Amino acid sequence: MADFFTRVRRNINKGISTVSEKSAVFLETAKIKGQIGKLEDQRNELLQALGHYVYQNFAAEALDEKFIAEKCDEITALEQAIAAKTEELEAITKAEKAEPEAEEQVAKCECGAEIQPEAKFCSNCGTQLRE
C-alpha cells in the first residue's frame, strides 16, 4: 500500500512540475508576442505618418529628404527589433519542443500493458512476471 501512495505522489509531483514548466513557457511567449505587437503598432504608425507627410508635401514639392531619411531609419530600427523578438520567440518554441521529457523507463508486459514496479503479475492479462 505504501508503494501505491509513493507512486501516486510521484505522479502528482511530476504533473505539477510539468504544468509549472509549461506555464512559464506560455507566459514568456505571451510576453514576447505582446512586445512584438507593440513594436508592430509603432512601426505601422510611423509608416502611416511618413506616408501622410509624403502625400501632403509631394504636391507642394516641399519634401524634406532629411526628415524622410530619419523616419525610414526609425522604421528600420523597429523592423530589426521585431525580427529580434521573433527570433527569440522561435528559440523558445524550439527549445520547448527539443526538450523531451525525461520519462522513466516503464517495463511492459508481453500484452503491451505497463508493469508497475514490484508487481509480480500483469494487471492487464495476469501473466506472472519475471524479475
- CA–CA distance, 73 with 65 (Å, rounded to integer): 12
- CA–CA distance, 113 with 84 (Å, rounded to integer): 47
| 78 CB-near residues (< 8 Å, 6+ apart) | 39, 42, 43, 46
The structure's pTM equals: 0.62
Q: Could you tell me the pLDDT band of residue 82, with boundaries at 50, 70 and 90?
A: very high
**Span 57-76, pLDDT tens digits:** 888 888 889 999 999 999 99
**Span 101-113, pLDDT tens digits:** 544 567 788 888 8
Q: For residue 107, which phi and psi values (nearest 5 degrees)?
A: -70, 150
The secondary structure element, H or E, covering residue 73 is helix 65-98
Residue 94: pLDDT above 70?
A: yes
Residue 39: pLDDT above 80?
A: yes
| 77 CB-near residues (< 8 Å, 6+ apart) | none
Q: By percentage, how much of the chain surpasses pLDDT 90?
A: 42
pLDDT at position 104 is: 53
pLDDT at position 102 is: 46
